Structure formats: C-alpha cells, structure tokens
Amino acid sequence: MRSDTAATGELAQDFVRFSVEAGVLRFGEFKTKAGRLSPYFFNAGLFDDGAKLGRLAGFYARRLLDSGLAFDMLFGPAYKGIPLAAAVAIELARLGRNVPFAYNRKEAKDHGEGGTLVGAPVRGRVLIVDDVISAGTSVRESIAMIQAAGATPAAVVIALDRQEKAAEGGVDREKSAVQYVREQLALDVVAIATLGDLLQYLSSTSDPALAEHTSRVAAYRDRYGV
C-alpha cells in the first residue's frame, strides 16, 4: 500500500503537469506584485473553460479528502475563490461528500437579500478555498467575515504554495505568506502542489524545453525561498 506522502506527491506532480499543459503555469520572466522577477507565473484565472475548471476542482477535492481536514462547508473569497468554491463543492458531492458553500461580495448589497455574504448560511467549521496566498490579506478578511457570522474558520486550501518570502512595504519578510497564516492566524493551509513539487517536475521531465527552466527556478528558490 502506498503511503499518504506518496499519494500526495503523485497528485502534486499530476497537478503541475496539468497546469503546464493548460497554459496556467508558464515560464519566462514575470514581475511579481513584490517587484521580483520570477522565472515562472501561475495564473489560476486561466482555468477558464468547463473542462479545465472541472479537472482543477477534482484536484482540490482529492487533496481535501486525502488531507483528512474536518470541515462543514466551503467559503470562496471574492473574486477567484467564488468559482473555485462552487466547482469544488460540485466535485466533492460527486465523490460522495455533499457540503454547502458560500462566498462574499466586495460591496454590500442594500436591496434583495442584502449584506455581503451569498449562498448557504455560514456556520460550523468553514474551509476557505482560494488559488494562492500572496500576503494573507484575503485570508484575514475571510476569517473576519466567517467569525462575524458566528462560524469557525477551519483551514485554507490553495492550488499552489509558492514557498517564498512574503514582501511587505518593499521589504522581504523571513517567512512566507502561508507560514504567516499558519503561525500568526493559527489556520492550517493545505496546497495541491508547492514550488518544491514544481522543481521536481522540471528536473524529471523528458521535455528539454521545460527542463531548461530548472536552473532558473532553483536559483529563484535559493534567493527568495523559505
């Protein structure tokens, strides 16, 4: 029988491969919000058709079920978290785990049902679904909304953990945004794949056009990794 670690590693490699094939994970030179020149770019907004979004949801659902996390519902922070939470809820139901989901508006609605929260009542242990964690701002805002509704933030699930030092005010912090969420906000974070998984994929691929990016991605991790 395979260990959980082996199963998770296989899932991560499959996800990286899928992201590259879908054009969501690209290589070259990209300027990040922190002003760094990154040799890769992950844009979850490019999971932009039914087939790709469905496969993405499958990776989230399998990672969640493998993790053993206890949660009662999903929450998708606006904007990217909204379709993610909906798609993951559909896939979990298909796999036999039917849970409600909710999301927030950026601006409160003053008519109809009103308020900033949409979907199922926010209650119990709430799992936040997002694409990446860049600075922890979205997570902090989600925690505040969940707690204001009287529920309990359970954990965060993301597609990719960049495993690099967060930047604040132009200054590198010694820890990543994911580490900040785990240590300062006391929330577990589960990722489908990490920068380490990406490097493993590049170093083992048989595609020379992809393999040539390995050294640049490794150098970036050496400089900014945690």
Catalytic residue numbers?
109, 111
d(CA 97, CA 89): 8
d(CA 29, CA 216): 10
Query: What is each CA distance from 185 to 137, 143, 144, 147, 224, in whole angstroms?
Result: 11, 9, 11, 13, 22
Pairing of strands 125-129, 171-176: unpaired
CA dihedral 135, 71, 105, 165 (to 10 degrees): 10
Query: What is each CA distance from 47 to 44, 81, 83, 168, 217, in whole angstroms?
Result: 6, 13, 10, 29, 23
